[in-house]
Amino acid sequence: MKKNCILVALAMLGTINVWADDVPKDTLKVVDVEEVVVIATPKENRKLREQPSSSTILSQQDMRDNQVTSLKSLTAVVPNLFIPDYGSKLTSAIYIRGVGSRINNPSVGLYVDNVPYMDKSAFDFNYADIERIDVLRGPQGTLYGRSAMGGLIRVYTKSPFTYQGTDLRLSAGTYNQYSASVTHYHRVSNKFAFSTGAFYDYAGGFFKNAYLNKKIDRSNSAGGRFRGIYLPTENLKVDLNVSYEYGDQGGYPYGLYDKTTGKTADPAYNEESKYYRNLLNAGLNLEYQGKGFTLSSVSGFQHLRDRMFMDQDFTTDSLYTIVQKQKQNTVSQEFTFKGGSDKGWQWVAGVSGFYQWLKMDAPVTFKESGINMIQGYMDQAMAATPVRVKILDATMPVYGNFDTPTMGAAIFHESTFNRLIWDGLSLTVGLRADYENMEITHDTHATLNTQTYMNGSPMGGVTANDYTINGKEKDDYWILLPKFALKYAFNNQNNIYASVSRGYRSGGYNVQMFSDLIQKQMTSQPGSTTSASVKDVISYDPEYAWNYELGSHLTLWEGKLWADVAAFVMDTRDQQIAQFSPSEMGRMMVNAAHSRSYGGEASLRANLTDALSVNTSYGYTHATFIDFNDGTADYKDKFVPFIPKQTLTVGAQYTVKGDEHSMFDEVRFIANYSGAGKIYWTEKNDVAQNFYGTVNWKICTSIGNAQIDLWSRNFLNKEYNTFYFESSSKGFAQKARPMQFGVDLRCRF
């Protein structure tokens, strides 16, 4: 082993590798990932490509070849999937088929080892020991409920019963990027196996704050994972998974955007912004296999504690800042019962529930320019009177404390009837009933010291004005989520299907609206009233969607070719759209009345020869508002923002195998082109990112139990924007990361 590692180190100057130890070496045959890696899913009786649903499966080798190192790396690798890489780990906005979410509850669900991750703040985590990713497109509400309206991402970690030994990974890249991970997999006996590992990631940052003259997006993160699997009897499995991650991240690299020239300036603002996160996840899977049935229990716990410091105006002016602190605990429990034979009736039924405690402190501090802004509003409100009120404070904190517990419960059933009328034809029907209850106890208060003047002469002394908004709001609702699917299987590898399904995204509260309400109290003329209640201002409704789909999964050319195609129409009601609040101090969610998206997607994998393989995926989505008027403008027929019309990935791999005289076992050359666009950033459709594409490549060398990967991302240094927003009548954008080079070293002991 030492000899192999020494040879790898000597070869580092000129070669590299993708380690193919986990995938069969016969490259002429397209590998069936679901056969190679057996994944236990408590809700399904069939392999994913045998189901009437549009899906993509990524093996560990697929992730390495496409340089998927986090959730945000999946953009365009999966058709019609877009995850803009901006902000911090607090923000993981996922868009599929015309629906998505920038803030609050997600529209696309995430499950890790069958345990739901309820909050987007927990989505962006380290992928050091990930074995496989499944992406299901279209509503998955019947089996998965809330937050699976656009689709579902399922992540699976490596099983210590499948993998043995110790994996060591070291990586270095330009812009001071370094990472290391080590994981040990050990089978103690035929009944017990465990894995334990740790990682550390460091990034020096890609962008500089021109005003502070320092890197703005540097980051540190470290953590680890333990997984233990115990098989006390032949038909019982106990699977425990615990992970922890700490992150210290800079942000946010937003620069002024010029609509005339289309240029984005370097970030330049005066208040340093940061994001800190502590994330603990634990899951316990119990599975009992009886005669003709399987009973499963999945218990989950998530603890998230984070702090965000943000210069909200992103300029050199001292307007306002926010310090947001969250403490969240979530428990979830699901019981599923499935059974049936492959030739007759297959079914699954279950009940689930969750409870989430979320406490948030989010004080907004008005600085010098912000106080001047409020002073201007006051002067304008009293312009017709001889009275003037002068603010005496240099700064003013607006304190916000929010307690938002949420609970939900569901019961569901799905049946598949095979051999319907004739062999190969099957019908799937399902129904889920979801109940959700949410509350908010809020307390927002501020004090402003003022002096009143009458015709220029002071009246009385200094007045301490106390502004307070507090109270409690509550909402609950029921929703039914049906599914119907008809599939015809030509054989066990080729099928065509049609499906109709419904999904939803839960409603909630806009906590950042309280600063606006306090400001209205301050600037309103004495004696004036507002007709809108607090609940009307802060609440937004659930979002619903029906998806109509026609698709096919094909395995052709004696297993050397995989093809997956689908066409869809998605009709969305009460679509949730993220906008800045009227004061532009915070973000808020509003409901668009009606939107519709239609399009298609296709994925292709083929091994043309023993040495050459190709893959491509393409997605098209046409998403527009059918009915949406927010009171300031009518957006009918406008494109829904943040939805790329097209996503595209084209890749190829060429393999050179070593012989008995070679110092290497295998060298692979991998290149791919990935792109997305056109993406409109606003409801007005007045700012957009045209279609862009990046070239990425790897040269991969394996020597025994060691490997080296030499890689480049955005090799042609393509310039484009990953995000855009407007605040204080200004536009801001985040640029894409520039060209990078790096090297990875992996060894197995």
705 vs 622, higher pLDDT: 622
pTM (predicted TM-score): 0.91
Model confidence band, residue 425 (pLDDT cutoffs 50, 70, 90): very high
Q: Average pLDDT for residues 62-78, to the nearest whole number?
A: 89
CA 288 to chain centroid, in Å, comes to 32
Q: What are 526's two structure tokens?
A: 């004495």
pLDDT digits (tens, 9 = 90+) for 478-506: 999 999 999 999 998 999 999 999 999 99
d(Cα 115, Cα 153) in Å, to the nearest integer? Answer: 11
List the domains of the chain with CATH numbers.
2-748 (2.40.170.20)
Query: What confidence score (pLDDT) does residue 131 get?
Result: 92
Residue 218: C-alpha distances to residues 202, 206, 208, 211 (Å)? 8, 8, 10, 16
Q: What are 27's two structure tokens?
A: 């490259």
Query: Smallest Cα–Cα separation from 85: which of 265, 324, 252, 310?
Result: 252
Model confidence band, residue 71 (pLDDT cutoffs 50, 70, 90): confident
Model confidence band, residue 91 (pLDDT cutoffs 50, 70, 90): confident
99-100, strands of its sheet edge to edge:
81-82, 95-96, 99-100
User: CB-based contacts of 695: which residues, under 8 Å, 6+ apart?
Assistant: 671, 672, 673, 714, 715, 716, 718
pLDDT digits (tens, 9 = 90+) for 359-372: 999 898 989 988 88
Average the pLDDT over each of 24-33, 40-49, 224-233, 564-573 and give the range with the smallest value. Answer: 24-33
- Residue 248's Cβ-count burial label (10 Å; 0-12, 13-18, 19+) is middle
d(Cα 301, Cα 291) in Å, to the nearest integer? Answer: 31
d(Cα 471, Cα 454) in Å, to the nearest integer? Answer: 35
pLDDT digits (tens, 9 = 90+) for 518-567: 777 776 655 444 445 788 788 888 999 999 999 999 999 888 999 999 99
Are the beta carbons of 543 and 107 closer than 8 angstroms?
yes
Model confidence band, residue 5 (pLDDT cutoffs 50, 70, 90): very low
Model confidence band, residue 579 (pLDDT cutoffs 50, 70, 90): confident
Residue 72, pLDDT > 60, answer yes
